[in-house]
Amino acid sequence: MADLNAEFEAAVANSKKLSERPDNTTLLKIYGLYKQATAGDNTEKKPGFGDMVGRAKWDAWNGFKGTAADDAKQQYIDLIKSLS
């Protein structure tokens, strides 16, 4: 468990140092996995149509609903490693 958390924290740090900026779809996946891993299932109200960015982020996070925090952390780690 401690190893997974340490790996996750390292992946979060590495995500800020990627040599190339990922495309928007990948960025949303990174965001969704991070939120699921750190906050759990999305219980926030869905933003309105005027907030396109907020809505996209909400949808990305909500797409991982039901994923266990440890699974989300591992997927996040794997995704960041694949981008490094």
Q: How many CA atoms lie within 13 A of 74 on its CB side?
A: 8
Q: Rounded distance, CA 32 to CA 12, Å?
A: 13
> Is residue 63 pLDDT above 70, yes or no?
yes
Please tell me what DSSP assigns to residue 29.
Answer: H
User: What does the pLDDT read at residue 2?
Assistant: 75
- For residue range 64-76, list pLDDT tens digits in order: 999 999 999 999 9
> Is residue 1 pLDDT above 70, yes or no?
no
**Structural fold of domain 2-83:** Acyl-CoA Binding Protein (1.20.80)
User: What does the pLDDT read at residue 4?
Assistant: 95
Q: Rounded distance, CA 58 to CA 47, Å?
A: 7
User: What does the pLDDT read at residue 84?
Assistant: 87
> Is residue 10 pLDDT above 70, yes or no?
yes
* Boundaries of every domain in the chain: 2-83
Rounded to the nearest integer, the mean pLDDT of the chain is 96
Give the amino acid at 79. Answer: L
Q: Rounded distance, CA 62 to CA 31, Å?
A: 11
What mean pLDDT do residues 78-82 have?
Answer: 97
Percent of the residues in the chain that have a pLDDT greater than 70, as a whole number: 99
The answer to whether 9 and 75 are in contact (CB under 8 A) is: no
